[in-house]
Structure 1
Amino acid sequence: MEQHLDYLIEHFGYFGIIIVLVGGIVGVPIPDEVLLTYVGYNVFQGKLSYIISLISAFIGATGGISLSYFVGYKFGLPLLKKFGPKFHITEEKIDKTSALFYKIGPALLLIGYFIPGVRHLTAYIAAIDKYPFKKFVGYAYTGALLWSFTFITLGKILGEEWHKIGFYLSKYHVYPILVIVLSMIIIVYLFLKKKSNKLME
């Protein structure tokens, strides 16, 4: 895996990150979190720029989820059920994601990136339900930014230990990552609230 990621970054750089993430979000079975963490590791090594890596990942993620939305909006559920199995998107996964979307609403677009098997489907389900694109963008693009920032930053912080992310994801699934993300959201919210209160004084 590491050799493939090395080849991707060495030969295609930031453009490679964008293209792979577009494919990964649309549904191609790619270990996106591993890729992002490895990008963070390359930032740690000084091979890539942190800011440009974040921008590239954000463009790739938003490009992929926007493409998924338009495909779902134009072709609907029949296309997803017909071709989905080729990308490991089964009817069971579709039904589970649909039920989750109905239960928690567009918030799933925000956190869905962090749930393997769900991030590939949230845009399709939103589009099939005719969820307005402008509202879709607000949730989906914010989620893309949080997701990219989380894993690239973790890779940068972990450095030589970047591969541990893959281990934790396979052993404990996604829960530790969700805890980290929620903690980050709370910290940012409290910081902005404190700053706002100071400006009003």
Structure 2
Amino acid sequence: METGLHWIEQYGYGGLFILLMLGVLGLPVSDETLLVFAGYLSAKGTLRIEPAFIAAFLGSVAGISLSYAIGRFVGLPAIEKFGHLIHMKPEHLTASRRWVERWGKYSLLVAYFIPGIRHLAALLFGAAKLSPGVFARFAYAGALVWSASFIGLGYAAGEEWTKFSPLIHRTLTVVVLLMLFALSITLSVCLIRRVNR
């Protein structure tokens, strides 16, 4: 992790872009910590917040787009066969598949907030041949919210960012899951009302 933080300090926006692209693609990079650190560097004046956010957003978009392309053009059997190369265990793929089947394209909005799901959702949607336009609309909106959330938290935390970094991730994951639960209840109620009319 120290290497990633050093990369951002040394290479700035380019380092942030590359690391997030590789992290979202599935390499072992602590994405949230990098985003919080970029927010901290922006608060400190080492980076400017607007270009840091743009680099983070574009890196996330590039990573998830590459994952989608791999899934679309390589296919699920190859992913299952060679998944160990990106530290993908069969149980991760099974959990991600259940998540995607349950939430559909909407899972792309929140997949970034859940490690493991983030790395595999795009592969699964690519293998399922979800249209590129639908994929982009939902995945890129998720990238926007995810990048802005963690950079904003790092910016707000300032010098305290190291204390809050692990807590931030756990808290946001719980909040996102609660929001999904509330959304599923709301959608179920709306569907029941429509059927009863």
| TM-score bracket for the superposition, by shorter chain length | 0.7 to 0.9
TM-score, structure 1 normalization? 0.83
The unaligned stretches of length 5 or more in structure 1 are 183-201
CA distance in 1, matches of 2:109, 2:79: 21
CA distance in 2, matches of 1:68, 1:43: 29
Q: Report the counterpart of residue 130 of structure 1 in structure 2.
A: 129
Indicate the percent of aligned positions where both proteins have the same amino acid. 38
CA distance in 1, matches of 2:22, 2:15: 11
Conserved in 2, the CA contact under 8 Å of 1:34 and 1:165?
Answer: no
Q: Report the counterpart of residue 191 of structure 2 in structure 1.
A: none
Q: Report the counterpart of residue 114 of structure 2 in structure 1.
A: 115
Alpha-carbon RMSD:
1.9
| 2:116 partner amino acid | G
Q: Report the counterpart of residue 193 of structure 1 in structure 2.
A: none
CA distance in 2, matches of 1:26, 1:6: 18
Q: Report the counterpart of residue 27 of structure 1 in structure 2.
A: 26
Question: After the TM superposition, which residues 9-158 of structure 1 pair with which residues of structure 2 at under 5 Å, given as runs?
Answer: 9-158=8-157
Structure-2 change in CA distance of 1:36 and 1:80 (3 Å): same
CA distance in 2, matches of 1:31, 1:6: 10
CA distance in 1, matches of 2:51, 2:4: 17
Q: Report the counterpart of residue 199 of structure 1 in structure 2.
A: none
| 2:97 partner amino acid | S
Which whole-Å deviations, capped at 9, do the CAs of 1:78-136 have from their partners, x for residues lacking one?
Answer: 22122222322111111111111111111111100000111001100111111111000
TM-score, structure 2 normalization? 0.84
| 1:79 partner amino acid | A
CA distance in 2, matches of 1:38, 1:83: 32
CA distance in 1, matches of 2:66, 2:39: 25
Q: Report the counterpart of residue 159 of structure 1 in structure 2.
A: 158
CA distance in 2, matches of 1:141, 1:6: 24
CA distance in 1, matches of 2:76, 2:36: 33
Structure-2 change in CA distance of 1:151 and 1:172 (3 Å): closer
Which whole-Å deviations, capped at 9, do the CAs of 1:173-201 have from their partners, x for residues lacking one?
Answer: 8214x379x6xxxxxxxxxxxxxxxxxxx
Which whole-Å deviations, capped at 9, do the CAs of 1:7-41 have from their partners, x for residues lacking one?
Answer: 21232110111111110011001100000000000
| 1:146 partner amino acid | V
Structure-2 change in CA distance of 1:19 and 1:43 (3 Å): same
The unaligned stretches of length 5 or more in structure 2 are 180-197
Structure-2 change in CA distance of 1:40 and 1:169 (3 Å): closer
Instruction: For residue 169 of structure 1, report the CA deviation from its aligned partner.
Output: 5.4
| Higher fraction of helix | 2
Moved more, 94-103 or 38-47: 94-103
Moved more, 150-159 or 3-12: 3-12
CA distance in 2, matches of 1:79, 1:173: 33
Conserved in 2, the CA contact under 8 Å of 1:106 and 1:136?
Answer: yes
Conserved in 1, the CA contact under 8 Å of 2:5 and 2:34?
Answer: no
Conserved in 2, the CA contact under 8 Å of 1:66 and 1:123?
Answer: yes
